[in-house]
Amino acid sequence: MKVLLAEDDIDLSDVTAFALRRQGFTVVRSYSGAQALEHFEAEQPDVVVLDICLPEPDGIDVLRQIRAQSEVPVIMLTGRSDEGAMVQAFNAGADDYITKPFSFRQLMLRLQAVTRRARTQKSTSQLAVGRLTIDRDTWSVLAGDEPVKLTRLEFKILYCLASHFGRVTPTDRLLRFVWRDDGGDGNVLKTHISHIRQKLSAAESGLAINAIPNVGYILNQLDASGAPTLVRSNAS
């Protein structure tokens, strides 16, 4: 498995790369944001370990550019422990977040977790949530045996939410996934989600899409009373 390690602290990069190689990873090293993007395009890594405080551009900008073209797992590294930095990273599309100093055992466990989730998602073209079966190859949605008719944009929104079932999907991440850099905004997204809610309700899907103010949306299963189950954060 190939890891892109983007870290401008050469000593930390040396030690981290050594530890990764001992665990059998192939390591591609970058020391700036520009270099990280070049290596990402050229090497097509399986996972990215990305320092937030990279020079030219910083890690958050690098992450946004990666997310504009790929859902590859990304773990952010940072010396900042404040909540604002964590929220910024997750809103930009991070899969996980580690604060320096960290143990290499912790890094390995996080790498195993994010790559395992990625393999699970790639292992089938179908997602099963509630009563729905969502097939990305055929762009179809079934509630039991009955088709749920969605537009192409509605399908992409639902698929993105279902891929992060039970976790908050930030609005920015939804916009990038559905529209890339062309034409999406929060109000347009809100309108499409309203239509999807109506169709999920009519299909008796057992699912609800809830808005998390100033953060994003979450697809959750309804409990026996018809209320959505508790929200789980991406940061958990």
Query: Residues 174-217: pLDDT tens digits?
Result: 988 888 766 578 899 999 999 999 999 999 999 999 999 989 99
Q: What CATH number was assigned to the domain covering residues 124-221?
A: 1.10.10.10
Task: Check residue 126 and give its pLDDT.
Answer: 80
Task: Check residue 234 and give its pLDDT.
Answer: 43
Q: Mean pLDDT of successive 10-residue segments in the chain (236 residues)?
A: 94 95 95 95 93 92 86 88 81 88 90 78 72 87 92 92 89 86 80 95 92 92 61 40
Same fold, 2-121 and 124-221: no
CATH 3.40.50.2300 assigned to domain 2-121? The reply is yes
Determine the Cα–Cα distance for residues 56 and 60; give it in Å rounded to an integer. Answer: 11
Q: Are 141 and 134 in contact (CB under 8 A)?
A: yes
Task: Check residue 92 and give its pLDDT.
Answer: 85
- How is the chain split into domains, by residue range? 2-121, 124-221
Residue owning tokens 């020391």:
31
Task: Check residue 223 and give its pLDDT.
Answer: 65
**pTM beyond 0.75:** no
Determine the Cα–Cα distance for residues 32 and 67; give it in Å rounded to an integer. Answer: 18
Q: In the beta sheet, which residues pair with residue 179?
A: none
C-alpha 105: how far from its chain's center?
23
| DSSP code, position 217 | E
Task: Check residue 113 and give its pLDDT.
Answer: 85
